[in-house]
Chain A
Amino acid sequence: MRLTQRRVYILPTRAGLLFALSLVLMLIGSINYSLSLGYALTFLLAGVGVVSMLHTWRNLAHLSLRPGKADPTFAGERARFHIAVENAGRLPRTSLAIEWPGQAPVHFDVPPASQRTVEVSLLAGKRGLLRAGRFRIFTVFPLGLFYAWANVELDLSCVVYPQPEQGRVALPAAQASTGEGAAAGSGEDDFAGLRTYYPGDAPNRIAWKAAARSELLLTKQFSGAAAAELWLEYAQIPDRLGVEGRLSRLARWVLDASMAGMRYGLRVPSLEIGPAIGQAHRTRCLEALALYGIAP
């Protein structure tokens, strides 16, 4: 979306009003004391003030904004949106900011004839499709005397997975999928190594000692589940947890199973995803949980 002249509004800031007040005082002083240079200085500053309004407006006008990608996230965490801001003209745009109501603004610059991707994060309250909604792009550059802004609504949305259930939650029993024999185990026994933390990993699997040594959170991985096949079923979960509680547990299961490297499938009312492994499968399952019961 392009910020045409009409979309950009401008008003003086508090500093601008203070500046205007000082100019009035300076003018009165110049009249009272017949200070010719006082008049000149007052008028010069008045000119600077008015010109700075044009500069502030120009700093914002004729930018193009486009929605960028938004990574899925879990409910209760922050969703990160990307907005591409393009400056096709020859002027560097300095100290722009994007702000959602009630959130701290994100400041950025856009050099001439280039494009910047601005990352903003919003709290993802509940699962489903989070729409970013209207936001404001504003600037007070160059003098801070005027505030120019435009209200923008882009097609920015992000899938919010259900919050994985916390605490000790055992995976349902795996079934032997092939004729080779019983399952190798629940995948809890043999320590196989460390991998980086994914949101949703159970806290008791986090390698706290290792985390204390390095900056990264690491999760302990256990082997022994490679051959297991698992069905994660909505129907297996007791009713008392409610819809959201059951989805939470399913999400936790998906994460745990995926982490353990098991083959798993998902069954929710009206949808069945066959057993598979891998990131794409995991994403597909979580997305199904996120959008469960929500009209597309």
Chain B
Amino acid sequence: MNERDALRVRDLAWLLLSVAVVIAPHALRVPVWIAVFCAIALVLRFETGWRKKNLPGRWLLTMAALACVAGVLLSYRTLLGRDSGVALLILMASLKLLEMRRSRDIAVVVSLAYFISITNFFYTQTIATAFYTFGAVWLITATMVGLQHRVQAADVRRMIRVSGVMLWQAIPVMLILFVLFPRVQGPLWGLPQTQYSGKSGLSETMSPGSLSELSLSDEVAFRAQFEGSRPSVKQLYWRGPVMWSYDGRTWRTEPPRAAATGDARYEALGPELRYSVTLEPHDQRWLFLLDMPAKLPPGSLLTADLQVLNPRLIRNRLRYEATSVTAYRYGAQISQSDLRRALALPPDAAPRARGLARDWAMESSDPRRIVARALDYFRSQPYVYTLAPPPIEGDATDGFLFETRRGFCEHYASSFVVLMRAAGVPARVVTGYLGGEFNPLDGYLVVRQSDAHAWAEVWIAGEGWVRVDPTGVVSPQRVETGLAAAVPATDPLPLLRRTSAAWLRELRYTFDAMTNAWNQWVLAYTPERQRNFLGSIGLSNVDWQDMVIALFVATGAVLLVVALAMLRRFAAPPADPAQRIWLRFCDALAARGVTRRLHEGPRDFALRSGTQLPRLRARIERVAKLYVRLRYGAERSAALAAELKREVEAVRTA
């Protein structure tokens, strides 16, 4: 066969379409030159196939391959990383297309197409991605079916149907393997360091504008599920980074200091709340627990200021269980160094605010009175809670307190703590999330980046650290109901946070519940989750050997069912009653040594068998005549069929 004719143009088109579909999601991520290179290779390959031209020579392709490697090295500075590996893979697949001649090359291209489709999961594993990839796999499989039509080009519907049937039958196998295949905690080898930039979330610093910017993001920070009754939204202070040091504009966390035994001693004033959190990766170590953490997730670390830290940076979705008490008293003892740090202010910061605070301190030395005085100040002055605060000129605290008076939670928390420290009350800034939204469909609380919040804690002798949220004074709705109700309608709020459109909210709830179920059951199916799940269906304490046995048994059962369904279809099409009787008659004669030949009609067969079995000749002829009348004649009477049956029975028993 001529090598240029080896691949039909239509098969080639399907193959190129498959490759294009698996490369497309990557094309948006890789440098432009790579996407352009792949597109050119695809078009070029189609053109050569279409016009039956020769493919580029070997040396040209070798040069192109070397140029691609050099290009990837220039663009990524490495060949080993995940991203550069993917880039190389799609470039080499495109080049392979240009030297695709024989069926062996085609097999390589098909395998590469499957392989590229899995690399997309490095970047996204949403439901939409899953559907897209399933479609891509269907397309590739249909292409393979088309390629195997050797006699004539396949009918498109048949390609899609045959491949669809196989995928459909493969789904039970997939489910069994997915559930039972012993999961291993990755990685098998050190993961290449990858840039995780662009993850939004709370950070180690807080300056004016940092939280209001974060609040514009609709991204989910984490989801929580409570055991028992739901707490009210205003109890939901999710504790994150705690900040002590202030440089006049920016607040910073301290290097983490493990809690000494006395630090976390607390007195519970209410019931315990048990809940589990599924945290989205944020490339930091904080685990968000409700104030105040009572029982920590295993393996986590508690700092002296009650931040809960994961041992490693959180780069995969993480699920943990915890217990908190929302009404508590803690931190009655404070060390001198903590006291010093909780009162420190840069000497030149906020001169006007310091003057105001000194006045309050003169009036009363009782810290409770000073706190009340400050909150009163926020309440009585025309402060506005807004997502779009105007830029502040000069000192950050003074500018906000006395000039703009429009700010988001970080402005209120920051200036409140500055005022407290200036008045001699130990205070610190706590950032985290406030509230969240219960999804009525699955009962999960969804906490988004837009729920990011900052509040203050003051230390009062005899009471310990007490939470004070100055934002709640300015805008009670923020604490009671949430962000959307609290900010002016003209503020640029993320679309999904607007509460007005009911249908939109419904849609969002549905979408979110689906995403959550997906995350919980598909993406977070870890070794631990596998153990739990197998335990819940009565397979507790199975080791991996048992799992492998179960795996083989279950897969074998599925394949057996498929095979039996296939065997049934080997049989001839269901015959009409007359034909069934006739076939029985043929079997009876075959048992006597006269087998009907395939080309023999009833009359010929009757003639031949009649001569070979003269004793039955009369009956045989009657049977044939009846059968011909029943099957080919116009009349279909039941009496005739019964007669045929009688005659055949007579032949059988004769």
Contacts and interface: CB of A to CB of B under 8 A. Distances in A.
Q: Do A and B come from one complex?
A: yes
A42 B133 CA distance: 12
B173 A35 contact: no
A108 B152 CA distance: 9
13 contacts: A18-B111, A19-B114, A34-B526, A38-B118, A44-B170, A44-B173, A47-B169, A50-B173, A51-B562, A61-B570, A89-B570, A107-B151, A142-B144
B122 interface: yes
B260 interface: no
Contact of B148 (A29, A36, A51, A140): A140
Given A31-B184, A33-B82, A44-B174, 15 more contacts: A26-B114, A30-B118, A33-B121, A37-B125, A41-B133, A45-B137, A51-B562, A52-B166, A62-B570, A64-B598, A89-B571, A94-B151, A95-B149, A115-B598, A143-B148
A182 interface: no
A107 B151 CA distance: 6
Interface in B97-150: 103-104, 107-108, 110-111, 114-115, 117-118, 121-122, 125, 129-130, 133-134, 137, 141, 144-145, 147-150
A33 B147 contact: no
Contacts of A50: 170, 173, 555, 559
Interface residues of A, number: 59
A76 interface: no
A281 interface: no
A51 B125 contact: no
A47 B129 contact: no
B187 interface: yes
Contacts of A91: 569-570
Contact of A22 (B114, B148, B167, B572): B114
B275 interface: no
A25 B115 CA distance: 9
A170 B168 CA distance: 73
B104 A14 contact: yes
A53 to B, nearest CB: 9
B523 A89 contact: no
Interface residues of B, number: 65
Contacts of A112: 573
Contacts of A143: 141, 144-145, 148, 166
A39 interface: yes
A22 B150 CA distance: 25
B59 interface: no
Given A33-B187, A37-B130, A54-B563, A48 B166 contact: yes
Interface string B302-330: 00000000000000100000000000000
Interface in A42-100: 42-48, 50-52, 54-55, 58, 61-62, 64, 66, 84, 86, 88-91, 94-95, 97
Contacts of A185: none
A268 to B, nearest CB: 37
Given A22-B111, A108-B151, A143-B148, A51 B173 contact: yes
A32 interface: yes
B189 interface: yes
Contacts of A88: 570-572
Main secondary structure of the interface of A (DSSP, over half): helix
Given A41-B133, A95-B148, A35 B122 contact: yes
A39 B114 CA distance: 13
Considering the complex of A and B, which 4 residue pairs feature the smallest CB-CB distances, nearest first?
A47-B170, A47-B173, A15-B107, A43-B177
Interface string A7-31: 0000000110011011001101111
Main secondary structure of the interface of B (DSSP, over half): helix
Contacts of B110: 15, 19
A180 to B, nearest CB: 49
Contact of A109 (B118, B151, B187, B562): B151
Q: Identify which of A19, A25, A143 gathers the most chain B CB atoms within 10 Å of its CB.
A: A143
B50 interface: no
Nearest to A30: B118
Interface in B534-566: 555, 559, 562-563, 566
A131 B572 CA distance: 32
A280 B113 CA distance: 62
B525 interface: yes
A144 B151 CA distance: 15
Q: Identify which of B137, B181, B570, B571 gathers the most chain A CB atoms within 10 Å of its CB.
A: B570
Contacts of B137: 41, 44-45, 48
Nearest to B172: A47
B572 A142 contact: no
Given A40-B178, A43-B173, A46-B173, A66 B145 contact: no
A253 interface: no
Interface in B603-619: none
B296 to A, nearest CB: 23
Contact of A44 (B107, B121, B171): B171
A62 B151 CA distance: 21
B501 interface: no
Contact of B525 (A36, A47, A107): A36
Contacts of B559: 50-51, 54
Contacts of B111: 15, 18-19, 21-22
B148 A35 contact: no
Contact of A94 (B107, B149, B169, B572): B149
